[in-house]
Chains A and B, each alone.
Chain A
């Protein structure tokens, strides 16, 4: 749990993918409404840098997205979450998870063969 999206940096977002996430949603306060002045603006620019990294390594920029919400917008939060989940479902598992499954299948076959 982070107190402010301003604490998020690129390595945290990439770690989520290393840990098996198919997609990552970053939800910050409304722009102009940051308790720490510009934490959410900084988070947005870091998320943009991760878009570009994911694009370069062909994992796909669509697997990460930043939303801005206030704490009182529960219905909007649910709608955004459903939208993002369906976007990720359409994309399918991340190439990392595909490769991991494939490696697990191959090692199981090797064990069976021996």
Chain B
């Protein structure tokens, strides 16, 4: 899922300072699962902002909504009839959802209520960790299901670097060496032969180097 963290209330209050009525828009997708931008968070954030603004002597009217997804056009369209009745939309979806809404509603300022994080997993309640950087050229079949691009701080492809000490990365003591994890896993799968099968070089042309990426599926158009 796409993860995120709430922006500090003070920063949001500063963003909404010019406005007297706004929409606070959540998303039932990833940000609901990582408890940062779902229906409950819309309610909590809206109450918080109303309280803060009223205590400062300047009330704010807030319309609370939570869309099925902010990254699909059909779920944004129902907002069209009323979006211009409000001075701004504070979205607590991921950066993709916020931008897509901004593209659809050209005359309404869009404000981000969260900081979008990474593609990750829930390791336990309240703790998420990165697993994929969307490099566009997956090699997990060769690396025991552990991604060298994400799990190695340097994204290197040919085994641990000199900074790997007792299975720990030199970047921080709480980061495991991705390559140590890969080798341990390959050993336990009895697939160490895959270690030698890694590509001589990693092609980054499917990654971010060519600017914003696009997937075109002719069979679906």
Which residues does A use to contact B, with CB under 8 Å? 9-11, 14-15, 17-18, 53, 56-59, 94-96, 98-100, 102-103
Contact = CB atoms under 8 A, between A and B. Distances in A.
Contacts of B48: 14, 53, 56-57
B103 interface: no
Contacts of B74: none
Contact of B57 (A15, A57, A58, A99): A99
A52 B44 CA distance: 12
21 contacts: A9-B40, A10-B44, A11-B43, A14-B44, A14-B51, A15-B47, A53-B44, A56-B48, A57-B9, A57-B51, A57-B52, A58-B52, A58-B55, A59-B55, A95-B55, A96-B51, A98-B55, A99-B56, A99-B57, A100-B54, A103-B57
A14 B47 contact: yes
Task: Report the 4 A-B pairs with minimum CB-CB distance, sorted nearest first.
Answer: A14-B47, A11-B43, A95-B55, A57-B52
B69 interface: no
B113 to A, nearest CB: 14
B50 interface: yes
Contact of B50 (A9, A18, A94, A102): A18
B174 interface: no
A58 B9 CA distance: 11
Interface residues of B, number: 15
A96 B57 contact: no
The secondary-structure label for the interface of chain A is helix
B54 A96 contact: yes
A53 B9 contact: yes
Nearest to B13: A57
B55 A11 contact: no
B10 interface: yes
A104 to B, nearest CB: 12
Nearest to B49: A57
Nearest to A98: B55
Contacts of A10: 40, 44
Interface in B1-24: 8-10
Interface string B148-191: 00000000000000000000000000000000000000000000
A99 B52 CA distance: 11
Contacts of A94: 55
Given A53-B9, A103-B57, A59 B51 contact: yes
Contacts of B55: 57-59, 94-96, 98-99
Contacts of A98: 55
Contacts of B54: 96, 99-100
B37 to A, nearest CB: 14
A17 B8 CA distance: 20
Nearest to A15: B47
B10 A56 contact: yes
